[in-house]
Structure 1
């Protein structure tokens, strides 16, 4: 099944010379990436989890544009968006938010994925490649006359080091994992209220095309619909977390007590457990225990989490 899903990955030209790389089905480790290309240069937005997938993306992009990336940006630290960095040309300048760089620097999963997923992903011949250039809040990249704004939401959301890539002239927004289109959002390394606030921040750009971190490309009325779904989901997590703490429940017990309702059919529903672990940690002023959080997610799911990477 993994190879069948891999073959469905597609390079889509969402605007002239602006491409999205969409990897179905968008679940664990299957991210979207993309690029903005002009005669003056090319900016790649994210890579992919494995060497095979990163090469497939970069080869398709080279075939479509006839260019190699001069610049690249990671929207956050997670391996599905960063492990393929080392497949970029050595001459490509890599950009990231300063906290994203530190997160990738200490990330142990690139050295060997733990058995929380089945099958356990094999990254292939990747190596840890960190940003050459870091930013705190914002940076504008000029590709000739094309302006690309790299912006941090102002606080923790999906992670502490998120960036979006906004092409104002074309009204195209690459959101990274601030948006999961039709899949369960994940904020265990960020903030539930921060992720909720980031939805309104994204809406404020008034994009016409949204390339989410996972899931299909969004246009027109789909954008408002998906952002509203995110708002309702995060409010569900906030209510479940507050009720769980009030009732003395563990994050896993609180998750099991939640009626997911309209979100029950979304892929990766077990992320409710990870998101509640984040809520509990923030409320208690504690560090998130990643091993405990993923162990509980596996227990909620009833076994290792499926991936088709």
Structure 2
């Protein structure tokens, strides 16, 4: 996966597909999963549909909703959950019917409430994304730890990992009977993870938390659906990557070097081929901030990702 627009013409909005991974359980997979191009999903029953996330733009969200409406025979979109606050998973919320009850973690709700990127994306990406006619729509129900919803009697557990990971307000949607996990951005399949708004150590701990569920199918926040042995492969890749970031950050701190200096001096090795490799410097910034006990302003560190890459970050959203 290159994640570089123009190299592959199959990663536009029309390339997304709805896949039924279990009866009534659908994954909306959007290639190639790089910046702003997420996965979503749904659980459908006779009494309606639970959606898991929306998409970044109005066009992509409409395609998702239209495909889902066709697959479910027009069943009402009764519930929806946002796995975290980022716009690729939330900006399409406003295209849901007014009657849809939207659920999110309390910190996710506050993060979307104060998000300024929905009002106009800064020029850190190229081309600068145009979200289309979306507006900020916040969850109606705020979860603090976990809750369970039911779709035609099928339990869907909405679980928080217990602390900061990808963000401070992550939720996963876990179907214990079908052993299907919608992991949100706690997992990126074949792409560089991003944790600069959460915690690298928390994200590492969350990998084991996910593994303990013993899922048989995982819908990651980005990248292809995972089944069987593929799941352990991706979990192990995440463990190695997070330990790599922590090690490089600690070396840089000990030597008095900035995250950008460390990133420029680092051979990414097995992770060099992952799309969006520039996230490495952002993840270093997260470790530095946590080790030094200070807050991190995402807007203040994004220029380092652009500097490392040598120009704005590509997106095909």
TM normalised by structure 2 equals 0.96
CA distance in 1, matches of 2:146, 2:298: 29
The answer to whether the Cα contact below 8 Å between 2:278 and 2:309 also exists between their aligned partners in 1 is yes
CA distance in 2, matches of 1:137, 1:44: 19
Show CA shifts across 1:58-115 (max 9, x none): 0000011121310000000000000000000100000000000000000000000000
Which residue does the alignment assign to 1:189? 197
Which residue does the alignment assign to 2:43? 36
C-alpha displacement at 1:292, in angstroms? 2.8
Which residue does the alignment assign to 2:302? 294
Show CA shifts across 1:34-81 (max 9, x none): 000011221000000000000000000001112131000000000000
Secondary structure at 1:37 match in 2: strand
C-alpha displacement at 1:255, in angstroms? 1.2
Which residue does the alignment assign to 1:144? 152
The answer to whether the Cα contact below 8 Å between 2:57 and 2:92 also exists between their aligned partners in 1 is yes
Is the deviation greater in 246-255 or in 2-11?
A: 2-11
CA distance in 1, matches of 2:60, 2:297: 30
C-alpha displacement at 1:4, in angstroms? 4.2
- Does structure 1 residue 282 correspond to structure 2 residue 290? yes
CA distance in 2, matches of 1:218, 1:278: 28
1:55 to 62, 67, 73: 62
Show CA shifts across 1:9-29 (max 9, x none): 000000011000000000000
- Does structure 1 residue 156 correspond to structure 2 residue 164? yes
Q: Select the structure with the greater relative contact order (CA < 8 A; seq sep ≥ 6).
A: 2
- Does structure 1 residue 97 correspond to structure 2 residue 105? yes
2:243 to 235, 238, 241: 235
Which residue does the alignment assign to 2:3? none
The root-mean-square deviation of aligned C-alpha atoms, in Å, is 1.0
Secondary structure at 1:207 match in 2: coil
Runs of 4+ in structure 1 deviating by more than 3 angstroms, as ranges, are 1-4
Aligned length: 309
Alignment of 1:78-117 (within 5 A): 78-117=86-125
Secondary structure at 1:70 match in 2: strand
CA distance in 1, matches of 2:235, 2:214: 12
Structure 2 gap ranges (5+) = 1-5
Alignment of 1:207-286 (within 5 A): 207-286=215-294
Which residue does the alignment assign to 1:166? 174
CA distance in 2, matches of 1:199, 1:291: 27
Which residue does the alignment assign to 1:20? 27
- Does structure 1 residue 77 correspond to structure 2 residue 97? no
Which residue does the alignment assign to 1:9? 16
Which residue does the alignment assign to 1:179? 187
Secondary structure at 1:281 match in 2: helix
Show CA shifts across 1:179-208 (max 9, x none): 000000000000000000000000000000
Structure 1 gap ranges (5+) = none
